[in-house]
Structure 1
Amino acid sequence: MRKTGKSIYLSLSMSNHTSMSANYVKNYALKHNLIKPEDNVFDKIHDRLNT
C-alpha cells in the first residue's frame, strides 16, 4: 500500500502469498468483506515502470 492509499498490486490483499483457485479467492473475499478495486491495469503497469 502506498502513502496515497492506493495499492501497487493487481489483486486483492490476502493472507497468503501463493496463487489460489478462483473459488477460494471469491469465497475469501466474501468472508472478509473485501471489495475488488476498480483499477486500470494498464495505468498500474505504467506507474510501476515509471517509479
Structure 2
Amino acid sequence: MVLTKMREVAEKFLMSTVKNVVVNVPAYFNDSQRKATIDAGTIAGLNVIRI
C-alpha cells in the first residue's frame, strides 16, 4: 500500500517507470521484518535490489 503509492509518486516525478528499488529500514528490524518488507515490495510490483 505505502510502497505502491511511493512508486506512483516517483513515477510521476521522474516521468519514467520504476522497477528496481533500494528500500531503507530501521537498524532494529529483524530478519522476518526485513523479509516482510521485501515481500511487500514484490507485491507492489517492485524488484527490491537491496534492503
| TM-score using structure 1 length | 0.29
Q: Which has the higher strand share?
A: 2
| Higher Rg | 1
| TM-score using structure 2 length | 0.29
